[in-house]
Amino acid sequence: MRPILLALVLTILLAGQGLANEVRIVDVEALQQQDGRYSFSVTLKHADNGWDHYADRWQVLGPGGVVLGDRVLMHPHVNEQPFTRGLSGIAIPAGLKSVSVRAHDKVHGNGPKLFEVSLPGR
């Protein structure tokens, strides 16, 4: 195989492995609370391998990427995959019918895909 072609194939394979280690949102559930605020349960999947590389946060986003809620994850979940964590008391601006959720890990930063969720009661 020619060196340039071999280098291209290796680059594609290694890039694919890097993407496979990014945090992925499996599911999101939004519930309207009594006071009109919302609670979210977010299920993440990530190849956590210790304190240097783990899913460390997820955020609820409004239009333009405005952060409405931020759930910091304080430790790796090496033996708990996928895992679900919640956040309540999130104020959602009037008129919004849906929000997006993004996840973050310590190595890759924000995950490649947003998860859009419809807001019940809107």
Most confident option among 11-15, 77-81, 111-115: 111-115
Residue type, 36: G
Q: Compute the average pLDDT of residues 103-114.
A: 91
For the chain, the domains span: 23-118
Shortest CA distance to 85 belongs to which of 15, 27, 3?
27
Domain 23-118 part of CATH 2.60.40.730: yes
- Are 62 and 40 in contact by the 8 Å Cβ rule? The answer is no
Q: Compute the average pLDDT of residues 11-37.
A: 75
What token pair was written down for 27?
A: 């599911």
Strand 55-61 relative to strand 98-105, pairing: antiparallel
CA separation, residue 24 to residues 10, 63, 92, 122 (Å)? 24, 21, 24, 27
Distance, CA of 36 to CA of 52 (rounded, Å): 38
Q: What does the pLDDT read at residue 2?
A: 61
What token pair was written down for 86?
A: 């919640």
Q: What does the pLDDT read at residue 79?
A: 78
Q: Residue 18: count other Cβ atoms within 10 Å of its Cβ.
A: 10
- Are 48 and 54 in contact by the 8 Å Cβ rule? The answer is yes
Taking the model in full, what pTM does it have?
A: 0.80
Interval 67-76: pLDDT, tens: 999 999 988 7
Is pLDDT at 13 greater than 70 in this prediction?
no
